Structure 1
Amino acid sequence: MIHDQLLLIIGLLLCVAMLSMLSDKLRIPYPIFLVIAGLLISLIPGVPPVKLHPDLVFLIFLPPLLYAAAWNTSWHDFWAAKRPITLLAFGLVIFTASLVAIVSNAIIPDFSLALGFLLGGIVSPPDAIAATSVIQKMNVPKRIVTILEGESLVNDASSLIVFRFALAAVSTGQFVFWTAAGDFAKVVLMGIVVGLAIAHIIYAIHKFLPTTPSIDTAITLITPYLMYITAEHFHFSGVLAVVSGGLFLTFRSGDIFSYETRLQAVSVWQTLVFLLNGIVFIMIGLQLPEITGGLGEYSIGEVIFYAVVISIVTIIIRLIWIYPGAYLPRFLFRSIRENEPNPGWRLVFITGWSGMRGVVSLASALAVPLTLDTGGAFPHRNLILFITFIVILCTLVLQGLSLPWIIKKLNIASGDSHEKQEMEIRYKLATAVLDHITTNYASETANIDAYKRVKERYERMVQITSNKLNNEEAKEEAPSFLPAYYKMLYEMIEVRRKEIKEMRREKSFNEEILREKERELDLEEARIRK
């Protein structure tokens, strides 16, 4: 019954939420817990299988996941790191897919080269979520995070295009390189065109129509599906449509969204992405018993051996590619040597070791069709699914758990002046406010206390920030004073919350007004904690 399956999925999602809380407690990226949860679910006897048609996997999961990744990417940083991102997202994906195809064809009996390319396309794209969630906490240079996020965004598109052509080759039994290369270029370019065209329409809707925060948030949920479905309808790359359109809209988001929309949309999207990640891993866990039972002539031991070999190959391929990709352009082009600092072998190794596979690979494997165009069963589908799951498990657990230790062992520290930039931004903002007050409210600040206090506040902010930028001691903001000060601010918020609770218990005030005051306190606490 569908009700029983829904109850099962909801219960498992609750388990995923619990595991994520545990991952936060242990400071381990939650994708690692998700893949382990999927494995444990498969071992529970009597768990009924939940099936989702392969054609629906990409349609349901990919558009929002890709759109969220694009939304969290800085276009300025992305463009500044375009060379390493391109080398990793296109060059490394094709290199990985090719070598995985050769290795899998060599070690797996009755596994064609076309199936090898299909498997290679599935396991070639790393997932940045696990890597960046570790790296961002380890104070490494921002450029590494930018490269990993940008690579993950673009290589999803390139790997899925490889997946698409390999799938066509397996289904039809035909593959002509020149025809495929031309189709590849058309699919890529027209996918970008479709994405940008729809993004401009959505931009106009947000900008010029009288939307509300709820409508704006709803439109952001609809947009990736609109881009993906439109591009796929014309047989172009829906993935690149979502990526290109998402990058355009995130670049212009400051022009079209109010503060209320941003607060609401961010919360909605964080929850959606979390649930989609959890559902994908749950889906593979629920299907693993059926997958292992459908391996045919292959034993579990043989398939695990194949999967481990391919996992090692994917890790080694990335390390082999990453050093020439980092140093060869510097050797060939003087402008790169002059304009970009030498990354050093340690940072290059960290970038190479951060190639954990994740949800996109899993979604791609689940999207392999059940049958060929001729009506026959798709060859080795269960084998491909099982190998993909083991590759994700191996890379997430081995690389994900070892990455913090390696970063500490290599003694990598951030050279970024994040704190200084924050001070400079604060100084410029406060100076702009002071200039505006002086120009437009000179008489008010001279005669009205409220105006005078605002001006004094920003004058003090300018002075303190200037002292910090000049490495001078700001006695008013002594570090020993701040913890007690923030503790007092939190206590003031809690006192007001308790008072609101008491008013609610007495039923002497309007509930709507009390909720508004609670929201004000929430925003105040968020600002202080930030």
Structure 2
Amino acid sequence: MHTILPFFLAMIAAIVLLGMLAKKLKVAYPILLVVAGLLVSFIPGLPAVKINPDLIFFLFLPPLLFEASWSISFKEMKKWWRIIGSFAFLVVFFTALSVAVVTNYFLPGFTIALGFLLGGIVSPPDAVSTGAIMSFVKVPKSTVAVLEGESLLNDASSLIIFRFALVAVGTGQFIWHQAALTFLWMVIGGVGIGLLLGWLFVQAHRRLPTDAPSDIALTLIEPYLLYWAAEQCHSSGVLAVVSGGLFMANRRLAFLSSTSRIRGFSVWESFVFILNGIVFLLIGLDLPEIVEGLRANGIPLRTAIQYGLLVTGILIVARIISSYAAMLATIIFRPGVVPPGTRRRRLLMPILLGWTGMRGVVSLAAALAIPVTLSDGTAFPHRNLILFITFIVILLTLLVQGLTLPYLIRYGRLFDGYTDEPEEVALQKLRKGLKEHSLQFLRARYENDNEHHAGLQLLLQHWEEKMKASNDSWMTGDTKAIFIELLESQRQYVVEYNKDPAVNEDIVRKQLFQIDLEEERLRMQ
């Protein structure tokens, strides 16, 4: 314990420092963390870091998926649901099938079941890596929405493939009709359990006398409860977390106070950053143990690297082919939703989408979750080779695709002249409408009290002067109640404003956060 604790504290400190360095270098922090973990793994005398395979999913995936479902724009997901669904399900299955066929042909002793197992592990792109890289470049919100929506759902589809393949490897057989029924239950049951528990959690927050610390504590345990309940019912824990998280995220204004939302945002941001950092460091730290396992199995390191290069190439090619197929299908069947642009942009866009397939957290978690032995006590076939190939895939996609993607976007000029409204202009437009709404609300609601309420007159003047008043001594209890009521009306205005399909939801969320901050400042006076 006294040896491991300082090591983990040093890991967290390294994650924070590397995150700072990544921002300074304008590099996605997962890339630096993986490289750092790889370099640190060669330092002699370090304690071995081992995680129980049965707990890896439960420890890391639920909170990461839950936070992602709260961050994504549900409005954009609904708008682009066709292409998101095709990438999250069809492309993942096509990628896993491609990996299964090729590895069955080229890797000695690799069955189709083992190929699907490996395909399910490495098929889902990593949301954290893609999001970190996209923050350094300017891309249309539609592209970001597709990538975020895909990354939120493809984890579920890939892990379903992984689970079926794991059963096939363990039993040596695969019964299609049973698999189809099981698949339906995993999807329907996972979504249903997530929605049911999400509704119950919302009611608990509403009806219990919670405050900000208790609200935040509840949100920290809720993803684990969602995942555990679904897994106990033999459905998809991932889909339960995603559906429950989306349900709660779209009702956050109804059951969380402004204080809970503000403080919870900071807590979750730090919590998820540390979790991601630990996983990416583990990717590098696990390499020596994996290499030792290869040597014990008599597989030359050079041969294993070649296998990793082969699988990485399959993933990239399969994703690019799928991107072109998705665009062709959209042009043929849904020409009205084809993104506008030149022929050159339409031809190169699938390459960009194909090049965004960096692998990371989910792939590592799935690989480490492979049991060491089968049910009969024999060693799991090719476990160390699968782990090593997964490591090579993660490393290469992060380094090669991750480092080159910003340059591909920037120098390929794919988004030159795209029509997204500048964020500053959109924010000014929203705030102007909000000020007009505030004045109309006060005048309509308290028109009869205006002449006899000094605080209300100053409140009106406060908004007429564009919220630049510096003296808050007039803020009595009655005036504060009116101001809080006004802020709630502003929230409703912003929510209605967001119903316009052309409105960027990121701008709306920033303004809602500003309203929360204003209410928090007001309550502390």
For this structure pair, what is the TM-score category when the shorter chain's length is used for normalisation? 0.7 to 0.9
- How big is each residue's C-alpha offset from its partner over 1:187-219, in whole Å with a ceiling of 9 and x where there is no partner? 111111111110010010112221111111111
Provide the residue aligned with 1:434 in structure 2: 439
- SS in structure 1 at match of 2:125: coil
Provide the residue aligned with 1:331 in structure 2: 332
Provide the residue aligned with 1:275 in structure 2: 274
Provide the residue aligned with 2:298 in structure 1: 297
Provide the residue aligned with 1:416 in structure 2: 420
2:140 maps to a residue whose letter is P
Displacement of 1:59 in angstroms is 1.0
Provide the residue aligned with 1:308 in structure 2: 309
1:392 maps to 2:391: no
1:157 maps to a residue whose letter is A
Question: Are the equivalent residues in 1 in contact too, given 2:69–2:152 (CA < 8 A)?
Answer: yes
Equivalenced residue count is 464
2:333 maps to a residue whose letter is L
1:178 maps to 2:177: yes
Question: Are the equivalent residues in 2 in contact too, given 1:206–1:216 (CA < 8 A)?
Answer: yes
Distance in 1 between the 2:226 and 2:445 partners? 46
| Comparing 389-398 and 287-296, the one that deviates more | 287-296
1:386 maps to a residue whose letter is F
Distance in 1 between the 2:40 and 2:234 partners? 37
Consecutive unaligned residues in structure 2, runs of 5 or more: 468-516
Displacement of 1:325 in angstroms is 0.3
1:458 maps to a residue whose letter is W
Q: 1:15 to 1:393 in 2, by over 3 A?
A: same
- SS in structure 1 at match of 2:45: coil
Provide the residue aligned with 1:344 in structure 2: 346
Q: TM-score, normalised by structure 2?
A: 0.84
Question: Are the equivalent residues in 1 in contact too, given 2:372–2:379 (CA < 8 A)?
Answer: yes
- SS in structure 1 at match of 2:121: helix
Distance in 2 between the 1:305 and 1:112 partners? 18
- How big is each residue's C-alpha offset from its partner over 1:265-322, in whole Å with a ceiling of 9 and x where there is no partner? 1111111111111222333433321210111121111111110111111111111110
1:425 maps to 2:445: no
| Comparing 354-363 and 278-287, the one that deviates more | 278-287
Q: TM-score, normalised by structure 1?
A: 0.83
- How big is each residue's C-alpha offset from its partner over 1:304-349, in whole Å with a ceiling of 9 and x where there is no partner? 1110111111111111110120231221245545xx6467334433
How do 1:79-478 and structure 2 match up within 5 A? 79-295=78-294, 296-336=297-337, 341=340, 344-411=346-413, 412-413=415-416, 414-417=418-421, 418-442=423-447, 451-461=456-466
- SS in structure 2 at match of 1:374: coil
Question: Are the equivalent residues in 1 in contact too, given 2:280–2:360 (CA < 8 A)?
Answer: no
- How big is each residue's C-alpha offset from its partner over 1:360-383, in whole Å with a ceiling of 9 and x where there is no partner? 111111111111011111111111
Question: Are the equivalent residues in 1 in contact too, given 2:323–2:350 (CA < 8 A)?
Answer: yes
Distance in 1 between the 2:448 and 2:190 partners? 58
Distance in 2 between the 1:123 and 1:371 partners? 21
Provide the residue aligned with 2:75 in structure 1: 76
Displacement of 1:448 in angstroms is 7.0
2:76 maps to a residue whose letter is D
Displacement of 1:447 in angstroms is 7.3
Displacement of 1:127 in angstroms is 0.9
2:212 maps to a residue whose letter is P
Question: Are the equivalent residues in 1 in contact too, given 2:355–2:401 (CA < 8 A)?
Answer: yes
| Comparing 17-26 and 420-429, the one that deviates more | 420-429
Distance in 2 between the 1:65 and 1:333 partners? 33
Provide the residue aligned with 1:496 in structure 2: none
| Percent identity of equivalent pairs | 46
Distance in 1 between the 2:463 and 2:7 partners? 55
Provide the residue aligned with 2:476 in structure 1: none
Distance in 2 between the 1:393 and 1:312 partners? 13
Provide the residue aligned with 1:23 in structure 2: 22
Distance in 1 between the 2:2 and 2:137 partners? 44
- SS in structure 1 at match of 2:375: coil
RMSD of aligned C-alpha atoms?
2.2
Question: Are the equivalent residues in 2 in contact too, given 1:117–1:163 (CA < 8 A)?
Answer: yes
1:299 maps to a residue whose letter is P
Provide the residue aligned with 1:60 in structure 2: 59
2:325 maps to a residue whose letter is P
1:37 maps to a residue whose letter is A
Distance in 2 between the 1:316 and 1:377 partners? 33
Distance in 2 between the 1:271 and 1:132 partners? 16
1:374 maps to a residue whose letter is D
Q: 1:287 to 1:130 in 2, by over 3 A?
A: closer
Question: Are the equivalent residues in 2 in contact too, given 1:161–1:237 (CA < 8 A)?
Answer: yes
1:303 maps to a residue whose letter is A
Provide the residue aligned with 2:506 in structure 1: none
1:151 maps to a residue whose letter is E
- How big is each residue's C-alpha offset from its partner over 1:233-277, in whole Å with a ceiling of 9 and x where there is no partner? 111111111011011010111111111101111111111111111
Question: Are the equivalent residues in 2 in contact too, given 1:122–1:388 (CA < 8 A)?
Answer: yes
